[in-house]
Amino acid sequence: MTIKAMMAGVALLAMSGTAFAEDSEEIMARLAALEGEWMLLDENGEVTDIVASTFRITASGSTLMERMFPDSPDGYEMLNVYHIDGDRVLMTHYCSAGNQPRLSAISTDEDRLSWEMESITNLSNPGDDHMHQAEFVFHGDDRLTTHWNSMSDGELSDESATFELQRRQ
């Protein structure tokens, strides 16, 4: 390998690192735009009176907090915390099951953001049920669909917990 070819490879790697960093900034900006209160839609697409999620920017603008089903009377409120870590965006899901999967944004396009678990804390047994994947589908600025897939005994669930949300006007 010539020095010229090697330097071109190093330059390409450096540029791709910058592209990933820019992507993480873009992803975080897209998530930050969710700030506000989001209502659950029923099976007919009608707005209910249930607050499904509230998003709030915190920590000097470096973190987005999402409360899922805030003040839930049955105690199933959950918390998601989103932040940039170098060239990637992470979400820690503080689950009502008592574990905390950390998911990384793995793919994105203008209308879709996919997440994959990379680690988890407080999982008693590796086969225990836990959140393993998520996907956010953006329908403009005021509509959002989230899909949550759990894993149990090493098998990904066949069905997603899907929530249709609309920004409170």
Angstrom distances, CA of residue 157 to CA of 44, 102, 118, 150: 25, 18, 17, 6
DSSP 157: -
| pLDDT (0 to 100) of residue 73 | 87
Which spans in the chain are helix H? Answer: 3-32
The domain ranges of the chain are 3-167
| pLDDT (0 to 100) of residue 147 | 98
3-40 pLDDT per residue, tens: 443 333 333 333 333 344 559 999 999 999 999 999 99
| pLDDT (0 to 100) of residue 75 | 84
- HSE, side-chain direction, 13 A CA sphere, residue 49: 0
Across residues 42-54, what is the average pLDDT?
97
> Pick from 83, 91, 79: which is nearest to 59 by CA?
83
Dihedral (CA of 19, 25, 31, 34) sign? negative
111-158 pLDDT per residue, tens: 999 999 999 999 988 889 999 999 999 999 999 999 999 999 989 998
Beta carbons of 113 and 105 less than 8 angstroms apart: yes
| pLDDT (0 to 100) of residue 1 | 44
SS (H, E, C) 76-105: CCEEEEEEEECCEEEEEEECCCCCEEEEEE
| CATH 2.40.128.20 correct for 3-167 | yes
Q: Are strands 36-41 and 100-109 parallel, antiparallel or unpaired?
A: unpaired
> Pick from 11, 123, 153: which is nearest to 19 by CA?
11
| pLDDT (0 to 100) of residue 109 | 84
145-156 pLDDT per residue, tens: 999 999 999 899
